[in-house]
Amino acid sequence: MLVDTRAERLETLGSILESEGIDIVGCVSPEGDLMGAVSRLSPDMILIDIDSPSRDMLESLRSVQANQPRPMVMFTQEDDGATIRRAVEIGVTAYVVDSIERRRIRPVVEVAMARFAQFRALEKELERTREKLEHRKIIERAKGLLMARQGISEAEAFQSMRTLAMRKNKRLVEIAEGMIDAADLFQM
């Protein structure tokens, strides 16, 4: 999907992209409904061709990245460090200053796609790690409750919970959550 205001640039960039085998699913104005356009068109990538990105445009792109993440490539004349940092912080994958050359388009697009995929994989790994840590905290808390209540060792508490999980065909964290809920109920 292309984001641009000037028709002549849209035509130029559009023809360059098409000559590189990149299909354009739609064009949108920077002041338009970017979120709605992304929902409607479901592009693989968002290409922004703009002289200088406005604060409103960057906020629109932030909303898109937060709700419907896509690789974003921004072609601009703006080389201000603060603008570049803001663009990268909101999720622009590649920020290209100066003219758009036909021979540079494919590598820029491919790098942006690869970096976006790499970033998404890191985000997923971080989420899995956070979930594992949260599960570990729950299991540790339940073990502590069981150790205090029954006067058993940590290894015995863990084995007891593990045996119950296997017998009930549940995950260990589910057993731990149940134990914590029951302990909270009885403390009322």
Per residue in 132-167, pLDDT (tens digit) is 999 999 999 999 999 999 999 999 999 999 999 999
**Residues 96 and 154 placed together within one structural domain of the fold:** no
**Residues 56 and 131 placed together within one structural domain of the fold:** no
- Number of compact structural domains in the chain: 2
Question: Averaged over 93-100, what is the pLDDT?
Answer: 84
Residue 164 lies in a domain: yes
Tokens of 90: 């909101």
**Which pLDDT score is estimated for 188?**
55
Residue 163 lies in a domain: yes
**Which pLDDT score is estimated for 118?**
95
Lay out the sheet containing 94-97: strands in order across. 27-28, 2-3, 46-49, 72-76, 94-97
Write the pLDDT tens digit of every residue in 17-58: 888 888 888 888 888 889 999 999 999 999 988 888 888 888
CATH code of 159's domain: 1.10.10.10
Element (H, E) at 140: helix 102-150
102-150 vs 172-186: helix crossing angle, rounded to 10: 50
In angstroms, the CA 160 to CA 9 distance is 68
By CB neighbour count within 10 A (0-12 exposed, 13-18 middle, 19+ buried), where does 16 fall? middle
**Residues 18 and 89 placed together within one structural domain of the fold:** yes
**Residues 23 and 58 placed together within one structural domain of the fold:** yes
**What is the reported pTM?**
0.72
**Which pLDDT score is estimated for 41?**
93
Distances (CA, A) of 1 to 87, 111, 179: 18, 17, 51
**pLDDT averaged over every residue in the chain:** 90
- Write down which residue in 66, 100, 134 finishes a domain: 100
Which residues constitute the domain of residue 148?
A: 126-186
Identify the band that residue 8 occupies on the pLDDT scale cut at 50, 70 and 90: confident
Residue 117 lies in a domain: no
**Residues 68 and 132 placed together within one structural domain of the fold:** no
